[in-house]
């Protein structure tokens, strides 16, 4: 499944509920899932970690749907040509800087 297909799937399954909840409420769900991912990374099994990554991605896609952002296009625009900082495929930005 591509990122675009996943975003469409999440939209079909949840968009009415997500839009009604709004971006603020949906963002709170994302932060909860990030906390669950942090816990799984510290002490979870590989399967638990994988499922938490899926949840975080789903909630991120949900927020993108609520605010009408095409994530596939956004990712291509920002990262399609390489690192947004140095422009290379193998980033050469200093470690102290966020590209």
pLDDT tens digits, 2-27: 999 999 999 999 999 999 999 999 99
**Helix boundaries (H) for 44-70:** 46-66
What is the CA angle 44-23-57, rounded to 5? 30
Q: Is the pLDDT of residue 32 over 70?
A: yes
**Rounded to an integer, what distance in angstroms lies between the CA atom of residue 58 and that of residue 46?**
18
Whether the predicted model's global pTM rises above the 0.75 cut: yes
pLDDT tens digits, 61-93: 999 999 999 999 999 999 999 999 999 999 999
Domain boundaries, the chain: 3-68
Q: Is the pLDDT of residue 99 over 70?
A: no
- The CA–CA distances, whole Å, from 55 to 65, 83, 85 equal 15, 26, 29
Architecture of domain 3-68: Orthogonal Bundle (1.10)
The residue assigned the tokens 């966020």 is 98
């Amino acid at each position: 499944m591509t990122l675009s297909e996943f975003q469409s799937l999440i939209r079909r399954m949840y968009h009415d509920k997500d839009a009604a909840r709004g971006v603020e409420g949906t963002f709170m769900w994302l932060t909860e899932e990030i906390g669950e991912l942090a816990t799984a990374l510290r002490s979870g099994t590989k399967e638990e970690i994988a499922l938490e990554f899926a949840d975080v991605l789903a909630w991120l896609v949900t927020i993108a749907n609520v605010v009408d952002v095409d994530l596939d296009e956004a990712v291509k625009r920002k990262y399609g040509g390489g690192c947004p900082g140095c422009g290379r495929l193998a980033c050469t930005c200093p470690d102290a800087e966020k590209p």
